[in-house]
């Protein structure tokens, strides 16, 4: 991260084992994950400082019931410091098991942007086998300025105010491993927001970013697939990131 210009001066580490996650991938590139958080849950809510948020525009959190105290405190400080808050629903199992608590969090009005994949969106609406993704999008948009539902090979739908867009997936036909696709999509979408791009352009950057990681086994983007992403963004007329690093 330092090589890419990320400021790590506020990074704090704790003694103990790093969290581990087993990713099971089928022949179609679909994956499921079984994590062991280990010492990754040791951060306490009272350890957050206002200085941790200085100079930032967004706080990015993942929904996790076991970390709710920390999440709420981070959001509280972020709002005090003028940050916007992005929430990723993280897991359909988490949404299914703690749906009421999730809705309570959304109803605070402190979540500016929410990402849900198709399975998470289904559980948000009650877990019916047949459901309308647009209904889930409208549900999220009641509470968030920006709402996004990703639909794997079908791309994504997103809403901001009265504007609703649907954007096709990029590179999905070459999917080898979907691990990391949601995180990379979210990072691309947030890049677009930070750069002041329109909603549809944010989705397109997210699609290019998410498409870059599914082209190889593992959750990291290989150098050749970064180049693939830049090529896709350039072909779509999207603002490229600073490539000096």
Binned at pLDDT 50, 70 and 90, residue 244 comes out as low
- Give backbone dihedrals phi and psi of 222, rounded to 5 degrees, phi first: -75, 155
Query: Would the pLDDT of 2 be above 80?
Result: yes
- Predicted confidence at residue 41, as pLDDT, reads 66
Question: 28-42, 74-88, 116-130, 151-165 — which is least confidently predicted?
Answer: 28-42
Residues 5-50 pLDDT 10s: 888 888 888 788 888 889 888 888 888 888 887 766 678 899 999 9
**Cβ(99)–Cβ(105) under 8 Å?**
no
- Coil/strand/helix, residue 28: coil
How far apart are the two ends of the chain, measured CA to CA in Å? 11
Cβ within 8 Å of residue 141, ≥6 positions away: 147, 159
Query: Would the pLDDT of 245 be above 60?
Result: no
Question: Rounded mean pLDDT of 89-113?
Answer: 96
240: exposed, middle or buried (Cβ count in 10 Å: 0-12, 13-18, 19+): exposed
Cα 241 from Cα 107, distance rounded (Å): 34
What CATH number has the domain spanning 47-235? 3.40.1190.20
* C-alpha distances out from residue 114 to 18, 90, 222, Å: 27, 11, 27
pTM for this predicted structure: 0.92
């Amino acid at each position: 991260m330092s090589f890419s210009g990320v400021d790590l001066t506020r990074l704090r580490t704790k003694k103990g084992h790093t969290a581990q996650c087993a990713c099971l991938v089928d022949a179609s590139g679909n994956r499921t994950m079984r994590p062991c958080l280990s010492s990754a849950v040791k951060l306490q809510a009272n350890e957050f400082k206002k200085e941790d948020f200085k100079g930032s525009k967004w706080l990015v959190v993942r929904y996790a019931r076991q970390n709710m105290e920390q999440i709420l405190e981070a959001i509280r400080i972020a709002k005090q410091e003028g940050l916007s808050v992005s929430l990723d629903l993280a897991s359909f199992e988490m949404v299914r098991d703690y749906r009421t608590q999730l809705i309570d969090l959304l109803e605070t009005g402190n979540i500016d942007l929410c990402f849900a994949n198709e399975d998470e969106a289904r559980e948000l609406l009650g877990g019916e086998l047949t459901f309308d993704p647009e209904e889930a999008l409208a549900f999220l948009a009641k509470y968030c300025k920006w709402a996004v539902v990703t639909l794997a090979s079908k791309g994504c739908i997103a809403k901001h105010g009265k504007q609703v867009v649907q954007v096709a997936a990029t590179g999905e036909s070459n999917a080898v491993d979907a691990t990391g696709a949601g995180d990379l999509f979210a990072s691309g979408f947030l890049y677009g927001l930070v750069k002041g791009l329109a909603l549809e352009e944010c989705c397109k950057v997210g699609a290019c970013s998410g498409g870059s990681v599914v082209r190889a086994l593992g959750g990291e983007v290989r150098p050749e697939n970064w180049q693939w992403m830049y090529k896709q963004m350039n072909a779509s007329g999207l603002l490229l990131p600073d490539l000096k690093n």
